[in-house]
Amino acid sequence: MTTSQLPRIAIYPGSFDPLTNGHVDIIERGARIFDSIIVAILGNVEKTPLFSEKERVEILRNVFKGHANVQVETFSGLLVDYAQLKKASVIVRGLRAVSDFEYEFQMALMNRHLAPGIETVFMMPAEQYTYISSRLIKEVFTLGGEVTGLVPPIVEEKLRGKQKAKK
Ligand SMILES: Nc1ncnc2c1ncn2[C@@H]1O[C@H](COP(=O)(O)OP(=O)(O)OP(=O)(O)O)[C@@H](O)[C@H]1O
Ligand SMILES: [Mg+2]
């Protein structure tokens, strides 16, 4: 088949505010099965993200600088439009628990309705990351909890920086 000659580009969208080891796990798995994976940072979902778009890009590019087939970009608007623009045929999403399922199921089918040629692929992280979310990381860190091992070292550093800036 001629289609198998085309590079298989996947897109992994999210807010990544901030990047966690759960995200890193999914990106690494994606990078192993697709020719390339574009981590697409959603620009303006939340009104007040902890990390600006620019900071999130910087963190992700830093963490994946050694991975030639991982690209980090930002996007706004419809994901399927952005995927088509980037010639991506796959949307990667992570599934942590049943609680993710309902929303992800709706999104996957809506995206299929909008763009039938794009498949959504779900991946499970390693068990030790299944309970991690960006929201919980921010909450725990703000309350003085330890997040070592749950986020890349650079994220921990940046969280400390935010804390200092606030004081
Ligand atoms: N620990 C994790 N393991 C596997 N997939 C994850 C994990 N955390 C997030 N994901 C997946 O990554 C994608 C992007 O998620 P997102 O940026 O919303 O992260 P999040 O941790 O859910 O953040 P928030 O708590 O702000 O919602 C989603 O498909 C989400 O299910
Ligand atoms: Mg989420």
Residue-level pLDDT, tens digit, the chain, 167 residues: 555 678 999 999 999 999 999 999 999 999 999 999 999 999 876 678 999 999 999 999 999 999 999 999 999 999 999 999 999 999 999 999 888 999 999 999 999 999 999 999 999 999 999 999 999 999 999 999 999 999 999 999 999 999 888 87
pTM of the predicted model as reported, rounded to 2 decimal places: 0.95
Give residue 2 CA to ligand 1 midpoint distance, Å. Answer: 34
Give residue 98 CA to ligand 2 midpoint distance, Å. Answer: 13
Whose atoms come closest to the Cα of 100: which ligand?
Answer: 1
Report CA-CA distances (Å) from 90 to 1, 37, 81, 93. Answer: 18, 9, 13, 10
CA distance 1 to 150: 42
pLDDT at 48: 86
Does any ligand 1 atom lie closer than 6 A to the CB of residue 41?
no
Catalytic residue among 61, 67, 86, 96: 96
pLDDT at 46: 63
